[in-house]
């Protein structure tokens, strides 16, 4: 096992007094044992001014900062002022001591060094690759953080290696069956707070036909939103249907369907359904929340797939056709 020995060379000069000669010098490290009781530094020839070279054995010192103090005495018994030297002891480890002997990991919460889940190390070495299986069955769905660290034979722990991951739990076919459809007009009241239509026969795919209650709706353009709910309580993306409401003087309500945009939210790929515009040319513009136009397209057709390269955020889609303009929010999430 290698040991680090520090060699220090210091110059020392006692307070010079006429007719006095330095005949003794000593040093101590960290703790003063008292005058004349420290480690002796031999002086072969007493003189008014001496230069001393000596070795200090630091093998018994711990790693870290230490203070060495030097002082001298003349032949009249007077001690000089002290000279101090700060130094740092760093002891190198042997190859065996630095070998990794233990590894462990924890997820999300640190239980403390040596108390995490053990990763088997068959042959200790300074550099190794570890393959291990992590049991995630008890973790909730969502993001988690796994932290890995290792310990060497000297008992020192390494810095940590961190890995973020996402848990997605597949539900059973029965749990994923659609059981209800929720709809609302213009403003989202929150999940479960819209008007519900119960699906008579739950299934993973359903075709539902029902009447939407639009009582109290005002004249003008509106957006009718739909979303589905499965047996596990999870909701689908929104399906939006743009309409124009015209109220007659006798209380009749005339509904003109414009377009449908789905899915919404999306990653930038969505479908514009213009089946109810009867083949009219359509000018489509997308604006960000500052009012800056970020996309402009001339569309023709009834069911048009679109792909836009836009940052995640909320945008406003404006469709113009047949002298009418309709606006709807677009949510892009990546």
CA 123 to chain centre: 33
- pLDDT band at 328; cut points 50, 70, 90: confident
- pLDDT band at 15; cut points 50, 70, 90: very low
CATH number of the 178-332 domain:
2.60.40.3080
CA 327 to chain centre: 37
**More confident: 275 or 219:** 219
For the ranges 133-147, 159-173, 245-259, the lowest mean pLDDT is seen at: 245-259
Residues linked to residue 246 through DSSP beta bridges, in sequence order: 254
For the ranges 4-8, 205-209, 252-256, the lowest mean pLDDT is seen at: 4-8
CB 224 within 8 A of CB 212: yes
pLDDT of residue 95: 63
119, 122, 126, 131: CA torsion to nearest 10: -50
Please write the tens of the pLDDT for every residue from 221-251.
Answer: 888 888 999 988 888 888 878 887 887 665 6
pLDDT of residue 146: 95
pLDDT surpassing 70 at residue 62: yes
pLDDT surpassing 80 at residue 200: yes
Closest C-alpha to 299, from 308, 291, 289? 308
Domains 9-89 and 178-332 fall in the same CATH topology: yes
pLDDT surpassing 50 at residue 318: yes
Please indicate, yes or no, whether the overall pTM of this predicted structure exceeds 0.95. Answer: no
Closest C-alpha to 26, from 57, 61, 52, 62? 52
**More confident: 173 or 155:** 155
Q: Report whether CATH 1.10.357 matches the domain 9-89.
A: no
**Helix and strand numbers, DSSP H then E, in the chain:** 0, 21
If you average pLDDT over residues 174-196, what whole number do you get?
90
CA 216 to chain centre: 47
How far is the C-alpha of 91 from the C-alpha of 66, rounded, in Å?
14
Kindly list the domain boundaries of the chain, sorted by start residue.
Answer: 9-89, 100-167, 178-332
């Amino acid at each position: 096992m290698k040991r680090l020995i520090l060699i220090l060379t210091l110059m020392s000069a006692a307070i010079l007094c006429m007719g006095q000669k330095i005949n003794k010098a000593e040093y101590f490290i960290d703790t003063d044992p008292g005058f004349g009781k420290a480690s002796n530094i031999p002086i072969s020839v007493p003189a008014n001014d001496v230069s001393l070279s000596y070795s200090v054995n630091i093998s018994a010192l711990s790693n870290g900062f230490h203070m060495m103090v030097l002082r001298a005495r003349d032949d009249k018994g007077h001690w000089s002022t002290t000279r101090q030297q700060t130094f740092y002891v760093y002891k190198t480890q042997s190859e065996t001591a630095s070998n990794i002997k233990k590894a462990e990991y924890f997820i999300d919460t640190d239980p403390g060094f040596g108390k995490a889940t053990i990763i088997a190390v068959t042959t200790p070495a300074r550099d190794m690759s570890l393959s291990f299986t992590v049991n995630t069955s008890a973790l909730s769905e969502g993001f988690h953080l796994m932290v890995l660290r290792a310990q060497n034979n000297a008992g020192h722990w390494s810095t940590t290696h961190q890995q973020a991951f996402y848990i997605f739990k597949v539900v059973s076919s029965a749990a994923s069956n659609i059981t209800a459809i929720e709809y609302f007009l213009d403003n989202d009241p929150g999940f479960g707070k819209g008007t519900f239509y119960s699906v008579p026969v739950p299934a993973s795919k359903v075709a539902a036909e029902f009447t939407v209650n639009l009582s109290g709706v005002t004249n003008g353009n509106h957006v009718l939103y739909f979303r589905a709910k499965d047996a596990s309580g999870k909701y689908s993306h929104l399906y939006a249907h743009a309409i124009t409401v015209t109220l007659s003087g006798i209380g009749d309500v005339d509904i003109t369907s414009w377009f449908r945009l789905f899915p919404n939210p999306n990653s930038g790929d969505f479908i514009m359904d213009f089946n109810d515009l009867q083949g009219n040319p359509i000018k489509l513009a997308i604006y960000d929340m500052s009012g800056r136009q970020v996309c402009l397209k001339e569309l023709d057709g009834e069911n048009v797939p679109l792909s836009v390269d836009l940052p995640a955020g909320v945008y406003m889609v404006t469709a113009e056709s047949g002298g009418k303009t309709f606006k709807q929010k677009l949510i892009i999430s990546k």
